[in-house]
Amino acid sequence: MKPTKYIWHKGRLVRWEEATVHVLAHGLHYGSSIFEGIRVYDTPQGPAWFCLDAHLRRLGDTARIYRMPLPHDREAMANACHEVVAANGLRSAYVRPIAYRGLGTLKVNGEASPVEVAIAAFEWGSYLGEEALRAGVDIGVSSWQRVAPNTLPTMAKAGANYLSSQLITMEAARHGYAEGLALDSFGHVSEGAGQNIFLVRDGVLYTPPVAAAILPGITRQVVLELAGDLGIPVREMAIPREMLYTVDEIFLTGTASEIVPVRSVDGLEVGPGHRGPVTERLQQAFFGLFDGTTPDTRGWLVPVRPSRS
């Protein structure tokens, strides 16, 4: 992580090293934090947000699920996002808005603790590495399942949910995989530690439904819409584990990871063991949004506003 000059914290820009939280903050002890990851891309027209409103809407949805009243509305949050990117002079960035319950009470019910907001922005390449975008990665099915229905809300992007992801990704690293893949409580394919998953067989794109304990990813939705534009048929359905071993292509999606091919699962090659044609077409359409070769017909890109100072 390359530090930048400023972080937007509790309503104003502060220096990176001054954006601190009390050690007795409720969010630190009980996981009562919610967040988003948003990318800014350096386009021919200048730095531009990718799906900013969709991310901030999901942050608001997560806050509602966890009954965390945000101190800023969506417009104010958007303004703050613009401000922190511009103030740091970034042309491309990974932006992390986070809301958490601060210092107030150590009761499990944290409603007496104030909800505080911070937004950091810094340079960050593709999560699994630039080479992975071309060559693909090796993944393994984890022994850790995703949470069962009516336990933790998987549609919410909450810090506590990522304790599950940490177990999955640490286990994957011990086994020599770049990432781990979780099944849901019914034994169906769910998602990676921090990514959604797509499978391709005979030119048809398959992905688990929201009911498979997944986070409904913003990049996942973009891929679904790009697939429609390209005439690629899509099936959202329960996916049995064994289907992972019989498909032609697999790829992972996420804001941090972007679109990453999978070359093997549990030591078995996926198709020919390298990026397949459907994955490559979707990558070209996706990254084309940022170099101008794919028209942005849905308003996914929003220019970063210049600093007011």
- pLDDT, position 309: 57
23, two tokens: 């050690």
SS3 (DSSP) at 188: strand
SS3 labels along 49-87: EECHHHHHHHHHHHHHHCCCCCCCCHHHHHHHHHHHHHH
- pLDDT, position 244: 98
Q: Which CATH class is domain 6-122?
A: alpha beta
The identity of residue 51, as a single letter, is C
Whole-angstrom CA distances from 301 to 47, 80, 91, 123 are: 9, 17, 14, 18
- pLDDT, position 128: 87
Domain ranges of the chain: 6-122, 132-291
Q: Does the pTM exceed 0.85?
A: yes
Is the CB of residue 239 less than 8 Å from the CB of residue 275?
no
Rounded to 10 degrees, the C-alpha dihedral 183/189/193/198 comes to: 180
- pLDDT, position 47: 98
Is the CB of residue 291 less than 8 Å from the CB of residue 71?
no
Question: Which candidate, 82, 106, 92, 81, places its Cα nearest to that of 30?
Answer: 106
239, two tokens: 């996916």
The DSSP call for residue 217 is -
Q: Which CATH number fits domain 132-291: 3.30.930.10, 3.90.79.10, 3.20.10.10, 3.30.200.20?
A: 3.20.10.10
Catalytic residue (one of 5, 10, 107, 157): 157
The identity of residue 24, as a single letter, is L
Active site residue 157: yes
> 291: burial class by Cβ within 10 Å (0-12, 13-18, 19+)?
exposed
The identity of residue 203, as a single letter, is G
- pLDDT, position 87: 97
Averaged over successive runs of 10 residues, the pLDDT of the chain (309 residues) comes to: 95 97 98 98 97 98 98 97 97 98 97 98 91 94 96 96 97 98 98 97 98 97 98 98 98 97 98 95 98 97 86
